[in-house]
């Protein structure tokens, strides 16, 4: 078994999951901020 | 040209006898037939499994020249199509425009916290990658195999193509990604039931309907593309295509383009993608131990992803006053909208008056985002290690 390869896999796992959570946390903040944009009356009528 | 028996004997793969060749050919015909049967009779992802099944039969006809002409070595029509549409990642990217045009992020705007399940349910990708490494696959192969767990066929093909994996890996990868996607209603429920109590599955969740402005829906895909591009530049092709499709849908002035992306473009790409991938399934490349392992690992990936979402919801419940139904976490995979429907059905089975469809759909569309980002992280990180 190639230990170096496993460590590389672990590195990809840790950084990869951190990246996924980081990106989705950024999207979450974006949704919260964009959610503050008021809906125009005209849109509501539509 | 009449059948040239001498040429057939000459073109047998090294170390393969004529009888072995015929047996393998018949097995591949049977596999193609099974895929076609599953598509027609069981309605399992018919738009993909039928073309893949037919392609598998086509490519295993003796002396066929659809991929490579055995008499002169010239590339055949499906060889040209593979090089021009899959090896360069064109079709997976194009299909993302169609997918983007189909996605309504509305439920996610209503319940933004569900987005975290789109991240947690990507756990299976990385866990499966580690298992694949333990089984002896290379880092690039293991990464692409893990992405099967994203329940996202185009991302799987995109990552595999970007890594330049050979057709012997690409065929099983694609078949695993699409066949398990269609088996979500069979794979997810037992995993969810094993990890939750009846009481947990009966948890009801409030849903407050509120209006989302058109401006929000327009800005969202643009900024998401920019953020994802900054975090993982390799994701721009995939997430950019996804969000471009969504922008076409939400802008309100391109109804015809949106309609075309959702129907004509999706159908055309699906036809070409399915049959071209099918023609990579030659007996020589497909009937290997690797194929069996990849199919098995694909199943493992789906199980890990489902478990990741459910366990993350249970973890959050330790700190929350308003409890989350942990089944919603399982909808964080990218199989949209199938997974959300499965979760709602399970909730209804436990409590006929429980309605968690909107939260499940929100988690499910988050899974679409999460899987693309996860696939891109695999590309970036493994690409860096492998010096791509």
In chain A, where are the structural domains located? 3-45
How high is the pLDDT of residue B15? 79
Which residues of chain B lie closer than 8 angstroms to A4, CB-CB?
none
How high is the pLDDT of residue B347? 92
Peptide bond into B337 cis (omega under 30): yes
Subunit contact A43:B211, Cβ cutoff 8 A = yes
How high is the pLDDT of residue B141? 93
How high is the pLDDT of residue A18? 94
B383 contacts B354 by C-beta, under 8 angstroms: no
Average pLDDT of chain A to the nearest whole number: 85
How high is the pLDDT of residue B306? 94
* pLDDT under 50: residue ranges of chain B: none
Q: How far is CA B189 from the centre of its chain?
A: 19
Subunit contact A43:B223, Cβ cutoff 8 A = no
Q: In the predicted model, is pLDDT for residue A42 greater than 60? A: no
How high is the pLDDT of residue B1? 57
Rounded CA separation B356/B105 (Å): 16
How high is the pLDDT of residue A41? 61
| ipTM of the complex as predicted | 0.88
Token pair, residue B337, equals 């909208």
Which residues of chain A lie closer than 8 angstroms to B362, CB-CB?
none
Which residues of chain B lie closer than 8 angstroms to A34, CB-CB?
109, 216, 219-220, 223
Residues 124-143 of B with CB under 8 A from A: 125-127, 129-130, 133-134, 138-139, 142-143
Rounded CA separation B30/B254 (Å): 45
Subunit contact A31:B109, Cβ cutoff 8 A = yes
How high is the pLDDT of residue A43? 57
Subunit contact B216:A12, Cβ cutoff 8 A = no
Give Cβ neighbours of residue A33 (< 8 Å, ≥ 6 apart): none
Q: In the predicted model, is pLDDT for residue A45 greater than 80? A: no
Q: Which of A2, A18, A20 to mutate to test the interface with B (most CBs of B within 10 A)?
A: A20
How high is the pLDDT of residue B196? 94
A33 contacts B234 by C-beta, under 8 angstroms: no
Q: In the predicted model, is pLDDT for residue A26 greater than 70? A: yes
CB neighbourhood size of B248 (10 A): 22
For chain A, the residue count is: 46
- Nearest chain B residue to A30 by CA distance is B220
How high is the pLDDT of residue B206? 84
């Amino acid at each position: 078994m190639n230990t170096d390869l496993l460590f590389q896999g672990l590195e990809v796992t840790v950084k990869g999951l951190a990246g996924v959570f980081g990106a989705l946390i950024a999207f979450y903040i974006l949704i919260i901020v964009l959610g503050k944009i008021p809906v125009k009356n005209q849109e509501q009528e539509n | 040209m009449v059948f040239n028996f001498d040429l057939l004997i000459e073109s047998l793969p090294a170390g393969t006898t004529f009888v072995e060749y015929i047996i393998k050919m018949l097995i591949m015909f049977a596999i193609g037939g099974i895929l076609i049967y599953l598509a027609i009779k069981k309605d399992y992802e018919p738009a993909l499994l039928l073309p893949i099944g037919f392609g598998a039969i086509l490519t295993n006809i003796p002396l066929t020249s659809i991929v490579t002409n055995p008499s002169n070595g010239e590339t055949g029509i499906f060889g040209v199509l593979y090089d021009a549409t899959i090896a360069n990642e064109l079709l997976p990217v194009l299909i993302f425009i169609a997918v983007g045009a189909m996605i309504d992020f509305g439920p996610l705007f209503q319940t933004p916290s569900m987005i975290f399940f789109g991240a947690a349910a990507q756990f299976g990708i990385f866990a499966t990658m580690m298992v694949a490494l333990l089984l002896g696959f290379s880092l690039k192969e293991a990464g692409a195999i893990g992405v099967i767990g994203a329940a996202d066929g185009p991302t799987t093909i995109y990552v595999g193509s970007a890594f330049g994996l050979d057709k012997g890996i690409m065929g099983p990868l694609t078949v695993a990604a699409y066949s398990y996607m269609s088996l979500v209603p069979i794979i997810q429920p037992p995993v969810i039931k094993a990890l939750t109590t009846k009481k947990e599955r009966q948890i009801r969740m409030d849903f407050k309907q509120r209006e989302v402005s058109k401006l929000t829906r327009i800005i969202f895909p643009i900024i998401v593309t920019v953020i994802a591009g900054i975090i993982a530049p390799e994701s721009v092709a995939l997430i950019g295509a996804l969000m471009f499709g969504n922008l076409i849908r939400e802008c309100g002035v391109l109804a015809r383009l949106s309609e075309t992306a959702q129907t004509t473009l999706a159908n055309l790409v699906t036809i070409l993608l399915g049959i071209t991938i099918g023609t990579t399934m030659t007996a020589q490349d497909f009937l290997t131990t690797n194929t069996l392992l990849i199919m098995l690992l694909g199943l493992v990936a789906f199980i890990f992803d489902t478990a990741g979402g459910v366990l993350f919801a249970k973890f959050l419940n330790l700190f929350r006053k308003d409890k989350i139904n942990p089944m919603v976490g399982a909808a964080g995979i990218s199989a949209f909208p199938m997974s959300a429907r499965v979760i709602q059905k399970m909730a209804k089975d436990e409590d006929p008056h429980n309605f968690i469809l909107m939260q499940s759909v929100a988690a499910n569309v988050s899974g679409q985002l999460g899987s693309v980002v996860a696939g891109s992280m695999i590309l970036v990180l493994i690409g860096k290690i492998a010096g791509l």
